[in-house]
Structure 1
Amino acid sequence: MLRCVLFDLDDVLVDYDRSIRVGHLAQAIGSTSEAVCAAIYASGIEDAADRGALTPQAYLDALGAQLQQPISEENWTAARRAATQVRPDVLALAHRVARRVPIALLTNNGVLMARQLPVIAPALFPLFAGRAFASAEFGASKPDPQVYIACIERLGVSPEATLFIDDNEANVKGALDAGLHAHHYRDLTGLLRALDWFGLP
């Protein structure tokens, strides 16, 4: 019997368009989309933040050094918010599931994202309040089994009582390796079938 349903964020609960994020931040700091994209995605800085190797300020400082100009938390947050659109149908389903079992969120992101998520995706709150986690908080990133185990330990549930939902097949495999149930999200219909198998929502 399930005691927790653990959702991924990007491309499950929300649509995320990195090109919008890049363009928004580039415009805010007077840089180019190419430079911002390289700083975020090609430098290794984002991956390091996701693993918890950088504090929020160290992360912003590293991006600023890469781009040769300061990056404020406000500009970073505004760009991420512009690129993030909550999926109403999945959110409505999450509300229904939450009436039956506790739900939570686990995203591959840095501590800054965890801190700013209520600003970036306010529609997810208060539903996920106190139960929205970034991988950096656990010192690893998906698909490392360690991150799932640490997250469910924080939630006080066992692997065999947890269903994890992610659009990335590698992340689904990581959850299975950690002993969780897992569903590879492709569309709402498939998710409804998976939940129905567990008697939800």
Structure 2
Amino acid sequence: MSTDRPIVLFDLFGVIARLQRPGAMDEMASLSGAPTDAFAAAYWACRRPYDAGQFSASQYWTAVQHRLSLPAHPDIIEKLRLADIDSWSRVDDRMVAYAQSLWDVAEVALLSNIPADHADAFLAAQPWLRHLDHVAFSGKIHAAKPDPAAFHHCVSALHATPADFLFVDDREENVRAARAIGMDGHVFTGRDELAAALGTWLPTG
């Protein structure tokens, strides 16, 4: 390894933070004026440029509403934006504590696909994030997983090489992308499984 300490690079949602709150899609669809199935399809179809910092919140929600052939009034857009941020606001306190416990043996960093305005809200609500060795939000670095640029950003920011990293994500496609640039990777299914993987991966002595 090129660094003095190995680096555990965490995904956020589905690992340290909870996935989207149940029922949130129904609530946002109601605000939008669309059936839930159609709203969800438009929500995800337009999401990648928003995650990657290529769309502002206004541009994203305007694109969603236009895809649904519905009006994109500023008040509707703001209600949708705030409801969306709230829907992704929950963390797993046990995983937060576990990630922090790794400081004894490793650098701890984070790489998350999250729009810039969501990132600002999440940082404000979760100040522990500011104590990590590096935090990379896709909307801020203008690259979203599985784009290799997102992983290379972390390598450069931490003055490391890909071999210094274990990347932890709940999505296999993202883990494959990390492995493709030379990182080790672990598909997250639970804390116990991760602890076992780290016990094997971390250097001894």
TM over 0.5: yes
CA separation of 1:36/1:116 partners in 2, compared to 1, >3 Å: closer, same or farther? farther
Per-residue Cα deviation, 1:150-188 (whole angstroms, up to 9, x for no partner) = 233133332121221001111111101111121111111
**Partners of 1:199 and 1:24 in 2: how far apart?**
47
Match of 1:152 among 152, 155, 176: 155
Determine the structure 1 residue equivalent to 2:55: 54
Conserved 8 A contact 2:62-2:72 = no
Structural mapping, 1:82-121, within 5 Å: 82-118=87-123
Match of 2:127 among 118, 122, 125: 125
Structure exhibiting the larger radius of gyration computed from Cα positions: 2
Determine the structure 1 residue equivalent to 2:14: 11
Q: CA deviation at 1:92?
A: 1.2
**Partners of 2:26 and 2:88 in 1: how far apart?**
10
Conserved 8 A contact 1:52-1:137 = yes
Q: CA deviation at 1:91?
A: 1.2
**Partners of 2:161 and 2:177 in 1: how far apart?**
16
Aligned pair 1:79/2:81, yes or no? no
Match of 1:68 among 66, 71, 75: 71
Q: CA deviation at 1:199?
A: 5.0
Conserved 8 A contact 1:106-1:134 = yes
Q: CA deviation at 1:145?
A: 1.9
Per-residue Cα deviation, 1:97-153 (whole angstroms, up to 9, x for no partner) = 13443322211233233222235xx3x422345733222434332222222012331
Gaps of 5+ in 1: none
**Partners of 1:137 and 1:118 in 2: how far apart?**
12
Q: TM-score, normalized by length of structure 1?
A: 0.80
**Partners of 1:171 and 1:98 in 2: how far apart?**
24
Q: CA RMSD in A?
A: 2.7
Residue 186 of structure 2: SS of its match in structure 1?
A: strand
**Partners of 2:185 and 2:52 in 1: how far apart?**
22
> What is the count of residue pairs matched by the alignment?
195
**Partners of 1:156 and 1:144 in 2: how far apart?**
20
Worse overlay, 56-65 or 84-93: 56-65
Residue identity (%) = 27
Q: TM-score, normalized by length of structure 2?
A: 0.79
Letter in 2 for 1:189: D
**Partners of 2:104 and 2:86 in 1: how far apart?**
28
Gaps of 5+ in 2: none
CA separation of 1:99/1:188 partners in 2, compared to 1, >3 Å: closer, same or farther? same
**Partners of 2:89 and 2:19 in 1: how far apart?**
5
Determine the structure 2 residue equivalent to 1:179: 182
Conserved 8 A contact 2:14-2:170 = yes
